[in-house]
Amino acid sequence: MYEKCYEFHHSEDYLVEKIIQDEDVHVNHMIFKQHEGLPTHKSNSSVYMIVIRGILSLKLEEQDFHEYSSGCIVNIPFGLRMDVNNLHEETLELFVLKAPSPEKWKENHQE
């Protein structure tokens, strides 16, 4: 068998799980109820957020919150300060891909 299957959980409760953490890509799965999200932080790679259900409320740097619905993939460039939240009643579920992985990003961008 050549392929590998990675499993993720189904839930209605707060969840942040690291599914794949290899040298090429990181894949995380997240579920947030209303008023839940991540602490403010800077993107440490090129980040792709795939909204599976609900509405992602995303604030980058000093801009206002922008909202992205189910079926949308949002790309966030390296080094931006971001607030990731669910400001809506419906549960938010998304996958976050970091490609290249943060370690590979640093390696490729060292001076």
Query: In this predicted model, what pLDDT tens digit does every residue of 26-39 receive, in sequence order?
Result: 999 999 999 999 99
Average of per-residue pLDDT values in the chain: 92
Q: Considering the domain boundaries, does residue 9 fall inside one?
A: no
Look up the pTM and report it: 0.88
Query: Would 53 be classed as within a structural domain?
Result: yes
Indicate whether 7 belongs to any domain.
Answer: no
Residue 71 lies in a domain: yes
Q: What is the CATH number of the domain that holds 46?
A: 2.60.120.10
What b/e string do you get for 58-91 counting C-beta neighbours within 10 Å, with b at 16 or more? bbbeeeeeeebeeeeebebeeeeebebbbebeeb
Q: Please give the tally of structural domains in the chain.
A: 1
